[in-house]
Amino acid sequence: MNIHEYQAKEIFREAGIPIPPGEVARSAEEAEAIARKFGGTVVIKAQVHTGGRGKAGGVKLAKNPEEARDIAQKILALVIKDLPVTKVLVTPAADIATEAYVGIIVDRASKRAVFMVSPAGGIDIEEVAAKTPEKIMRHAVDPRYGLQAFEAMEMGFFLYDDVKQARAAARIMQQLYRAFTNSGASLAEINPLVTTPAGDVVALDAKMVVDDNELDRLPHVESLRDESSEAASEVEARKANLTFIKLDGNVGCVVNGAGLAMATMDLVKYYGGEPANFLDIGGSSNPEKVVSALRIITSDPGVKAILFNIFGGITRTDDVANGIVTATRANPLQVPMVIRLTGTNEEAALKILKDNGFSAMTDMDQAVQKAVSLATGKAA
Amino acid sequence: MSIFIDTDTRLLVQGITGRDGSFHARQMVEYGTQVVAGVTPGKGGQKFDDKVPIFNTVSTAVNETGANTTVIYVPPMFAADAMMEAADAGVKLIVCITEGVPVLDMTRVYPYVKEKGSRLLGPNCPGLISPGKSKVGIIPGRICTPGRFGLVSRSGTLTYEVVFQMTRAEMGQTTCVGIGGDPINGTNFIDCLAAFEADGDTEAIVMIGEIGGTDEQDAARFVREKMTKPVVGFIAGQTAPPGRRMGHAGAIISGSAGTAAEKMQAFEENGVGVAKRPIDVVQLLRSLN
């Protein structure tokens, strides 16, 4: 789960990391009032769950409250990578002497939380890693002991020659590690970590991604979820316990299992169609899930054909068949549907479908080809 | 022969009285797996289906029954503890089916299990099956048949699809292993490839990967450098958008890293046959002779 910059800053601030003040505005007028309160030049930053806000015009300086209102109005009207901006963060502009990068990710290769720090901050860290890898220091944290002070100091000295600044950075890293573990994060990032002309070390930006698997035991983190910043279909899918990702294709896919769902999408493409979505109904075969899945997929006007691909292992294919019958009885389909199912209780499933006027296939490639030809109007 | 499990496997089921645990314990017994014990705290002394003794802790279960393998069906928030308890009790093979284990838990579990000298498979995996000998986990027994091919996969149902097509083409299996879809798992492709290389009965191996991470790329290099047996592979997620988790916690393209194209290229460069569609696996295996 992604959280907004202002939410991550709140978490970092609670952990003790020095962060300049800032307030969230949902309207131009609120932004103006906040700018007036702070006085002087402010930065107005779009709060959306995507990178590249700056390039999209979502981060701007305003010299006075009136300008803050105008700029906030423009930013609040933006749609950045399909995400409408509904909130902006207003924060006093800081004087910057240097910019560094500090981040923690869960690293698959070392199987640990790994720090990445670089004196080349303020830009995309992937780019730094690709072009000037010598400017990045990595440190894998031993989960048994956490981040030790001397380890943090080594990274602090990698960023700053000045011992005071190195110490300040080291303290921030220990605080960041605590915030990272306490929030069940898979990523926590300060980019940039700046020094001011007075020599203070301050976090100007904050980013955090939380491991979805932690949310059940961290209700205070779950409460940070902002549904207004997610696609409505994805919110509905999550509530129905489906994994759903919307794409821009013409074949709507309903599949059990993540790997098979991806392979089905790939096959749709292979045969000349475009998958409209990723949708995994999961292992348990509750007919209700099938009903929700069909509702979500048919609400996408881009879908020209629907493809079911079910390999029954734990999933009982007769349950899926019952779900299809129930769902289509309540809401008759406007687009053609191809059903492929095989595995557990296949005979029962095929009978249920046949009795209700549906036909089903058992071969995956044939089913995908048929769905693609129905969606594109071309012969298979 | 086979890898990791065979007729000597003495299985313990952690969470044997739960909904999933009880269902699959019965399936495993039916398949012929020696299910020797179950663990559910508070139900020690009872019997599962009037046959399998239930214990309160893993260590008593191991001491009383000589279990050498365990399969875990406990809820995600308790899975880390269950894996560590099994490792502490000296269980040599720990198979964790549970999906949804927090990744920070796994950063602690992984080194713990390693230090105790156990092998962990999973979490978030379908387990494994050595057809005709033993099955541990949830892979449907009837889609497999004994034979000369090894299979290792990050997926569940996609594995079933491929195994089923192999079985229909009369290409039986020594062992099918699901290593799971999480970013941190106990056993990776290379561990399985090395075991298949050492297994006298396995003649060729099928590797089914997906987007995210570099496990497949590392495995491809291992094939070229360390293996004599042929390997063919399929990668799921060629149409997956970057930055989105495709169901599995580990199936995500980060920035531009971990794409299907990159993995398929690594396969090609290292002599691993690339299947464009799942069904092509069968053709590739056939062309090996």
B104 touches chain A (CB under 8 A): yes
- pLDDT value at residue B257: 83
Q: What is the dihedral of CA B216, B221, B227, B228, to 10 degrees?
A: 110
Return the CA Rg of chain B: 18
* Mean pLDDT score, A338-349: 91
Give the containing element (helix H, strand E) for A191: strand A185-195
Architecture of the domain spanning A21-92: 2-Layer Sandwich (3.30)
- Which chain A residues touch B155 with a CB distance below 8 Å? 257-260
- pLDDT value at residue A40: 93
Model confidence at A119: pLDDT above 80: yes
Question: B186 is written with which tokens?
Answer: 């106990």
Chain B, window 122-161: residues with a beta carbon less than 8 angstroms from a chain A beta carbon: 126, 138-140, 143, 153-161
Model confidence at A315: pLDDT above 90: no
DSSP H helices, B117-244, are: 157-168, 189-198, 215-226
Q: Residue ranges of the domains in chain B?
A: 10-121, 139-286
Which CATH code fits A98-222? 3.30.470.20
- pLDDT value at residue A284: 63
Q: Considering B135, B248, B266, B272, which one is annotated as catalytic?
A: B248
Select the more confidently predicted residue: B222 or A54: B222
Of the candidates A288, A298, A373, which has an alpha carbon nearest to the alpha carbon of residue A325?
A288
* Mean pLDDT score, A111-133: 90
pTM score? 0.94
Per-residue pLDDT reduced to its tens digit, B162-188: 999 999 999 999 999 999 999 999 999
What average pLDDT is seen over chain B?
Answer: 96
- The residues of A carrying an active-site annotation are 101, 189
- pLDDT value at residue B89: 98
pLDDT band at A128 (very low <50, low <70, confident <90, very high): confident
- pLDDT value at residue A312: 85
* Mean pLDDT score, B236-254: 89
Under 8 Å between Cβ of B11 and B35 = yes
Q: Give the C-alpha separation, A261 to A277, whole Å.
A: 9
Per-residue pLDDT reduced to its tens digit, A155-181: 999 999 999 999 999 999 999 999 999
* Mean pLDDT score, B35-52: 97
- pLDDT value at residue B58: 98
* Chain B nearest C-alpha distance from A212 (Å): 8
**Identity (one letter) of the amino acid at B278?**
P
pLDDT band at B68 (very low <50, low <70, confident <90, very high): very high
Q: Give the C-alpha separation, B51 to B73, whole Å.
A: 19
Under 8 Å between Cβ of B196 and B209 = no
- Say if the Cβ atoms of A106 and B107 lie within 8 Å: yes
Model confidence at A313: pLDDT above 80: no
- pLDDT value at residue B176: 98
Q: Give the C-alpha separation, A25 to A35, whole Å.
A: 10
DSSP β-bridge partners for residue A169 = none
Tokens 């089914």 belong to residue? B208
- pLDDT value at residue A380: 58
* Mean pLDDT score, B101-106: 97
- pLDDT value at residue A179: 97
* Mean pLDDT score, B79-105: 97
pLDDT band at A51 (very low <50, low <70, confident <90, very high): confident
Lowest mean pLDDT among A86-90, A109-113, A124-128: A124-128
Q: Residue ranges of the domains in chain A?
A: 21-92, 98-222, 231-376
Residue B171 DSSP label: -
Interface-testing mutation among B107, B139, B159, with chain A (most A C-beta atoms within 10 A): B107
Q: Give the C-alpha separation, B230 to B32, whole Å.
A: 31
Buried b (16+ CB within 10 A) or exposed e, A279-288: bbbbbebbbe
- pLDDT value at residue A228: 80
- Which chain B residues touch A113 with a CB distance below 8 Å? 104, 107
For domain A231-376, the CATH class is alpha beta
A211 touches chain B (CB under 8 A): yes
Domains B10-121 and B139-286 belong to one CATH topology: yes
What average pLDDT is seen over chain A?
Answer: 93
Lowest mean pLDDT among A146-160, A343-357, B166-180: A343-357
- Nearest CB partner across the interface for B155, out of A211, A260, A267: A260
Percent of chain A with pLDDT over 90: 78
Residue B272 DSSP label: P
Model confidence at A379: pLDDT above 70: no
Model confidence at B159: pLDDT above 80: yes
* Chain A nearest C-alpha distance from B155 (Å): 5
Contacts 24+ apart (CB under 8 A), A220-228: A221/A1, A221/A3, A221/A183, A221/A184, A222/A1, A224/A1, A224/A3, A224/A4, A224/A7, A225/A1, A225/A3, A226/A3, A226/A4, A228/A86
Q: Is A88 left (phi over 0), alpha (psi -120 to 50) or beta?
A: beta
A187 touches chain B (CB under 8 A): no
- Say if the Cβ atoms of A108 and B210 lie within 8 Å: no
Which fold does the domain B139-286 belong to in CATH? Rossmann fold (3.40.50)
* Mean pLDDT score, A234-245: 89
pLDDT band at B32 (very low <50, low <70, confident <90, very high): very high
For domain B10-121, the CATH class is alpha beta
Under 8 Å between Cβ of B202 and B188 = no
Model confidence at B283: pLDDT above 80: yes
pLDDT band at A231 (very low <50, low <70, confident <90, very high): confident
pLDDT band at A36 (very low <50, low <70, confident <90, very high): very high
Model confidence at A286: pLDDT above 80: no
Return the CA Rg of chain A: 25
- pLDDT value at residue A285: 64
- Which chain A residues touch B248 with a CB distance below 8 Å? 258-259
B277 touches chain A (CB under 8 A): yes
Q: Is B117 left (phi over 0), alpha (psi -120 to 50) or beta?
A: left
Interface-testing mutation among A80, A126, A260, A317, with chain B (most B C-beta atoms within 10 A): A260
